[in-house]
Amino acid sequence: MKTQSGGDPNLVKLNVAITCGYLLYDLLLLALNWSTMGDGFFVCHHLAALYAYGYVLTYGLLPYFANFRLISELSTPFVNQRWFFEALSYPRSHHLVVANGVAMAIVFFLVRIAVMPPYWARVFATFGTPEFERLGLSAQVAWIVSCVCLDVLNTVWMYKIARGCYKVITGKGHKPKGAKSSNHTNNHTD
């Protein structure tokens, strides 16, 4: 199962290597700035991805599936922009924050949630095949467990993003006058 549907696994390995570099750097930033950026979900996300991507880089396994999972990172610029708006103290009702939030919710859903059924259909189609058996137990576990973890995290985040988007759009997320605001700036907490 080194390749699926042809393609250049070396290009996939380059994409994965760049992503691993980003994930490692982001873990370092999280550790150094835990009080403002720290989030256990992010740490779990990064470690699960690094665990699976390690097999892609080390053994050249599952490049099609690795590339498929990389599609989810198309939502990252919107998530990061949300953090910048929070760090710059933009109010959640500001038109740029609302526009980014709606775009984030739509893109996050399309590239992290809507792709789950076709992804898992392709995964399940490999079960019991000689190629799947040749992977060996450790690669099978890395592949399946990391993907389950990532999909659970993405589902939780999607719920929080949708809930926050709904509150902002409907105006139900405004705090009453005199309510204290938090200095906490985690990305997926509301």
Separation between Cα atoms, residue 82 and residue 12, nearest integer Å = 28
How high does pLDDT run on average in the chain? Answer: 87
Give the residues of the chain that fall short of pLDDT 70: 1-8, 173-190
- Per domain, the residue ranges of the chain are 9-170
Q: Are 53 and 16 in contact (CB under 8 A)?
A: yes
Query: Percent of the chain scored above 70 by pLDDT?
Result: 86
Q: Output the pLDDT for position 39.
A: 85
Q: Output the pLDDT for position 5.
A: 43
Q: Output the pLDDT for position 188.
A: 46
Separation between Cα atoms, residue 142 and residue 49, nearest integer Å = 9
